[in-house]
A and B are shown apart, each in its own frame.
Chain A
Amino acid sequence: MGEIKFNYDLGLFGDTLNRVILREYPHRTKDFINSFLSNQINCKIWLIDELVNILERKKDHFIVKRVTVLGSWYGNIIVPLLIDNIPTLQEIDLIDMDEDALAISRKFLGHYDFKINYMHKDINFEEFEDHYTNVVINTSCEHMVPMDSITFHHDDQVIYALQSNDMFNIREHVNCVKNETELATQANLSTTYYMSHKKLMGEKGMPYNRFMVIGKRNDNL
């Protein structure tokens, strides 16, 4: 890990848990807490760390102003990481089919003086060809259709940072992969800047792999 900033406000976590989750969404308590598990945090730091390294190498010709997060869930980890570590960033799109998660995001992230677009969309059935962005992040590809079916405006200029896993036994995981190569192939990334995996331990002590690829649908580096 490099010098990734992650200055998390624990007081904000406690306040949101008390003021928003326990009062308005008590049925989401476990889910909200799960979003703070160490695997969730470490894997998002891993993504931002590698993404920042790549952006640093490309800074002369690739400026990131807008990042789109697919399947953003609460956005509680990725948004602070993006804001703290990509100084050129001006706008973040959080896209999820779960309107309650987005509503919680809005309250949780509302204190940031930053343009965050909360977009209630089902990624599996939505067209993004008119949506302009510089970087697309999806840390839950295992929940969705293969990424090659999703394209953005000027798609060959977009950097995709994707994660998936091999937890095939989880009911909601409709699209697990066996390795990072399969993830890159599935996303139709012809240039990969980074590709690796981490061995992790699941909630019930089951080992699994989390795969990550960062790349473009363009042969020109």
Chain B
Amino acid sequence: MSTQNLKIITALWGQNYSLNDVKKLPVDIVFSDRNIPGIKTIPIDMSYKGTWKKMTLFDSRLNLGECLFLDLDIILQGDINDIISYYNQHKIKSKVMLAHVHWFDNEPMRKNKSTYISCNVNSGVFAFNNNDCNHIYEELIKHKSKLEMLFEGTDKWFYHKHKDWYNFFPDYMIQHKIHNYSNMDKSKAIIISENGNANGRNKI
């Protein structure tokens, strides 16, 4: 499903998710450690730990153009075109549009300045232009081992070191399955996140 010249992509590696999870989503490309029949598959760089692999999608040599990345733990509840339209109307050159963790109180996160643990960024859903975000990939390869050591994940790297790299989708568009600090109407959500790490790792 290529929508308005934008490619919908996901990533599959390891044993936590399966082909069935990929098939639930309208994806054009899968970055994966295996071949997936019927869907364009691009090998993902397995030398990176955990979610750091996702950051290799910013390598402009992939020449992907406009992209919307979806994690395999999301539930598509509404029309994906609404998210794509919003991105197309509000995108800023060289920035990534990400999900905002509004389902937890952001104030304690703002006050915690002594560690890299707090975070209100969620990269379960993000849109970007692959041709304009190579600076993220360059920083990734420059600091690879340091980043994997210091940050529990990529979201915390963005939140603590690169606030100028991103903006957010509107809160109502992406909501969490369980948590709902801001008391949003979940029926208005287009995407529901089932992020298992949401209870704790991003909460502080």
- The segment from A9-17, A98-106, A199-207, A208-216 that touches chain B is A98-106
At the interface, yes or no: A88 with Cβ under 8 Å from chain B? no
Please provide the chain B residues from 145 to 201 with a CB less than 8 Å away from any CB of chain A in the complex.
146, 149-150, 161
Q: Tell me how many residue pairs across A and B have CB atoms closer than 8 Å.
A: 31
At the interface, yes or no: A175 with Cβ under 8 Å from chain B? yes
At the interface, yes or no: A111 with Cβ under 8 Å from chain B? no
Specify which chain A residues have a CB less than 8 angstroms from the CB of B149 in the assembled complex. Answer: 145, 174-175
Minimal beta-carbon separation of B87 from chain A (angstroms)? 30
Specify which chain B residues have a CB less than 8 angstroms from the CB of A73 in the assembled complex. Answer: 114
* Interface 0/1 of B123-161, CB less than 8 Å to A: 000000000000000000001001001100000000001
Q: In the complex the two chains form, what is the Cα distance from A97 to B111 in whole Å?
A: 13
Specify which chain B residues have a CB less than 8 angstroms from the CB of A30 in the assembled complex. Answer: none
A171 touches B117 (CB 8 A): yes
At the interface, yes or no: B61 with Cβ under 8 Å from chain A? no
At the interface, yes or no: A125 with Cβ under 8 Å from chain B? yes
Q: Which of A100, A101, A174 contacts B150 (CB 8 A)?
A: A174
Minimal beta-carbon separation of B158 from chain A (angstroms)? 14
A27 touches B111 (CB 8 A): yes
Specify which chain A residues have a CB less than 8 angstroms from the CB of B108 in the assembled complex. Answer: 27
Give the B interface residue count (CB, 8 A).
11
At the interface, yes or no: B16 with Cβ under 8 Å from chain A? no
Specify which chain A residues have a CB less than 8 angstroms from the CB of B161 in the assembled complex. Answer: 122, 125
At the interface, yes or no: A60 with Cβ under 8 Å from chain B? no
Specify which chain B residues have a CB less than 8 angstroms from the CB of A117 in the assembled complex. Answer: none
Q: Smallest CB-CB separation from A145: which chain B residue?
A: B146
At the interface, yes or no: B23 with Cβ under 8 Å from chain A? no
Minimal beta-carbon separation of A22 from chain B (angstroms)? 15
A97 touches B146 (CB 8 A): no
Q: In the complex the two chains form, what is the Cα distance from A122 to B146 in whole Å?
A: 13
Q: In the complex the two chains form, what is the Cα distance from A129 to B64 in whole Å?
A: 39
* Interface 0/1 of B93-126, CB less than 8 Å to A: 0000000000000001001011101000000000
Give the A interface residue count (CB, 8 A).
19
A97 touches B150 (CB 8 A): no
Specify which chain B residues have a CB less than 8 angstroms from the CB of A96 in the assembled complex. Answer: 114
Please provide the chain A residues from 124 to 162 with a CB less than 8 Å away from any CB of chain B in the complex.
124-125, 143, 145, 149
* Known contacts A124-B150, A145-B149; A97/B113 CB under 8 A: yes
Specify which chain B residues have a CB less than 8 angstroms from the CB of A149 in the assembled complex. Answer: 146
Q: Which of B113, B117, B143 contacts A98 (CB 8 A)?
A: B113
Minimal beta-carbon separation of B193 from chain A (angstroms)? 22
Q: Smallest CB-CB separation from B149: which chain A residue?
A: A174
Q: In the complex the two chains form, what is the Cα distance from A145 to B143 in whole Å?
A: 11
Specify which chain B residues have a CB less than 8 angstroms from the CB of A171 in the assembled complex. Answer: 117
Q: In the complex the two chains form, what is the Cα distance from A183 to B108 in whole Å?
A: 33
12 further A-B contacts with Cβ under 8 Å, apart from A125-B146, A145-B146, A145-B150, are: A27-B111, A96-B114, A98-B113, A100-B111, A100-B113, A101-B113, A124-B146, A125-B143, A143-B115, A145-B149, A172-B117, A174-B149
Taking Cβ atoms with an 8 Å cutoff, the residues of B that contact A are 108, 111, 113-115, 117, 143, 146, 149-150, 161
| A-B pairs with lowest CB-CB distance, top 6 | A98-B114, A98-B113, A172-B115, A27-B111, A174-B149, A100-B113
Listed by A's residue number, 7 A-B pairs whose Cβ atoms lie within 8 Å are A98-B114, A99-B113, A100-B113, A124-B150, A125-B161, A145-B150, A172-B117
